[in-house]
Amino acid sequence: MKRYPKWWISTLAACCLLGVATAQGSHPIELAQDSQQGETASQPLEFVPKRVIVKFRPELAPVAVQMITDALLTEVEGSIPELGVLFLKVPDDADEQDYEALFQSLPAVEYAELDYIVPPATSYSRTVIPNDPWFDPGRGYGWHLTRVGAHAAWYYQRGSPQIVIAVLDTGVNPVSDLAGKLVPGWNIYLSNNDTRDIGSHGTEVSCVAAAVTNNGIGVAGLAWNCRVMPVRIAAMGGTATYSHMAEGLIWAANHGARVANLSYRIDTANSLLTDAARYFMERTRGVVVVAAGNDGSFSNNPDNPYLIRVSGLDVTNLRLSNSNYGTDVDLCAPMYNIYTMASDGRVVSGTGTSFSAPLVAATAALVLSANPSLSGEQVEQILKRSAVDLGPLGWDSEYGWGCVNAARAVLMARGLLPESTPPTIRITNLSDGAVVRGAIWISCEVVDLHGISHLELYVDGARTAITTRPYPSTGSNIYRLYWDSRGVSNGWYTLTIVAQDGMGNRGDVSIRVYVNNS
């Protein structure tokens, strides 16, 4: 193929407009390096590599268009015939913006521009922050939801009313944060349809899983739009038998639930409960989630493939000392200072793996909302594969496969790979080589599309502080971490700030400081 100078192509195009074709000698095309760029090209947007969109004037003959595109060594890779627009592929070693400017300079061209990749109007933040007063990460309320990536998950999935979570517990009251969310349930203990809460436990568990969210009152639930099936299995004191649990699972499976939650200290080796959980999974293509319990004991039961057992975390991402653990633990989730709604409609806070389990159950409900065709086994595998690993690498007896992450799980359910860009961190009040003394605050600006779950401070590799919320009155992306340098000897130390976003990605930044407390 011949190469032609720019001036010749301009002449050719002008002649073609008059119906005249000419030919000149061949010379290399010199694309101007100092050509003026249009306003679109100067914007900080990405564009399709090696593509220029060109619209030739309608009076130009097709053969002339072909001659020009050939002369410029471009190939037609697409078009919109109704608009007379061509998508031209430029040579691999060429600059797209230079080609854009060259086409713009030709009399035969009506317009030429790059094919810009435009993000959604909301791409500055792929998070959703509801207006419930007791979901306020800046004040520490609802930290358990940001820790499991709820604010990022809600950008992609908020639950389907067709996915029902059966809460096998003390009953559930239709408090304001569950208004319109309850489907008909059953009282296993009394064999009637009276599912009123005889205590408060069942209502509190239900609100953690699926409270009405973004309604301006109360708390936020993880599975916004999923519904709750109250199944009372408890006696007046709140205790339940394995036979009532098994009957409850059978009833829930036969009446449309896809997820079942048992916030009781379950022996995962119990044969009757295992049989009932197997029935539930096979009948509903769903999952059964159980709490690990709160007496700090270790279980050496083998893993039960029909029960997802959940241990509990504190705000520092460590297993709370009274959370049970063992060889049958599958996942973990926050259990400390969880704000929810009691059976009398008051907002209360509680601690226990009773609240860890419904976070996992609600995540399973979001997964099924994103892809209802999944089987229970597939849902369980997604929950494990999408978890944020804690403790030793891989599975361990304290954290299982890690902390459940709703955002990652929802994307995996849709067959997508979770976004993996780590947060960007900038320490704003200390520079590398700074001299510090006494107790100090380390201020950081943190930016991420999926919101921040928490920040950690490491001093020479040892975690020293953690925060779950922005510093008040400084903006939503400014965090502060406290360090008392009086506890160490004078000398050089490496300070590392680690931030985790709602998608479970971790970013870090380090500086060296000199401690001088003499």
Q: For residue 126, tell me if it sits in a domain.
A: no
Angle, CA 131 vertex, CA 129 and CA 134 arms, to 5°? 95
Query: Same domain, yes or no, for 351 and 332?
Result: yes
Q: For residue 129, tell me if it sits in a domain.
A: no
User: How many alpha carbons fall within 13 Å on the CB side of residue 147?
Assistant: 30
Query: Same domain, yes or no, for 208 and 305?
Result: yes
Query: Same domain, yes or no, for 82 and 152?
Result: no
Query: Same domain, yes or no, for 212 and 295?
Result: yes
Query: Same domain, yes or no, for 301 and 155?
Result: yes
Domain end position, chosen among 53, 83, 117: 117
Q: For residue 407, tell me if it sits in a domain.
A: yes
CATH code, domain with 31: 3.30.70.80
Please list the pLDDT of the chain residue by residue as tens digits (518 residues): 444 445 445 555 454 444 433 333 333 333 333 333 333 222 334 678 899 999 999 999 999 999 999 999 999 999 999 899 999 999 988 888 889 999 999 999 999 999 876 544 333 467 788 889 998 876 778 999 999 999 999 999 999 999 999 999 999 999 999 999 999 999 999 999 999 999 999 999 999 999 999 999 999 999 999 999 999 999 999 999 999 999 999 999 999 999 999 999 999 999 999 999 999 999 999 999 999 999 999 999 999 999 999 999 999 999 999 999 999 999 999 999 999 999 999 999 999 999 999 999 999 999 999 999 999 999 999 999 999 999 999 999 999 999 999 999 999 999 988 888 999 999 999 999 999 999 999 999 998 888 899 999 999 999 999 998 887 655 578 899 999 999 899 999 999 999 999 999 999 999 999 999 98
In sequence order, what are the residues at sequence separation of 6 or more whose Cβ sits closer than 8 angstroms to the Cβ of residue 22? 11, 12, 15
Query: Same domain, yes or no, for 387 and 474?
Result: no
**CA separation for the pair 389, 387 (Å, rounded):** 6
Query: Same domain, yes or no, for 408 and 440?
Result: no
Q: For residue 124, tell me if it sits in a domain.
A: no
Domain end position, chosen among 359, 389, 413: 413
pTM for this predicted structure: 0.76
Q: For residue 436, tell me if it sits in a domain.
A: yes
Total structural domains within the chain: 3
Query: Same domain, yes or no, for 111 and 244?
Result: no
Annotation marks residue 201 as catalytic: yes
Q: Choosing from 206, 323, 354, 453, which is the catalytic residue?
A: 354
Annotation marks residue 344 as catalytic: no
Query: Same domain, yes or no, for 88 and 111?
Result: yes
Q: For residue 50, tell me if it sits in a domain.
A: yes
DSSP letter string, 256-313? T-SEEEEEEE--TT-HHHHHHHHHHHHHHS-EEEEE--SS--EE-PPP-TT-EEEEEE
Query: Same domain, yes or no, for 303 and 441?
Result: no
Q: For residue 127, tell me if it sits in a domain.
A: no
Q: Choosing from 132, 144, 160, 169, which is the catalytic residue?
A: 169
What is the extent of the structural domain holding 511?
424-515
Query: Same domain, yes or no, for 246 and 101?
Result: no
Annotation marks residue 501 as catalytic: no
For residue 476, give the nearest of 138, 145, 126 by alpha carbon: 138
Q: Choosing from 144, 201, 244, 450, which is the catalytic residue?
A: 201
Q: For residue 128, tell me if it sits in a domain.
A: no
The dihedral region occupied by 345, where left means phi > 0, alpha psi between -120 and 50, and beta the remainder, is: left
Query: Same domain, yes or no, for 429 and 356?
Result: no
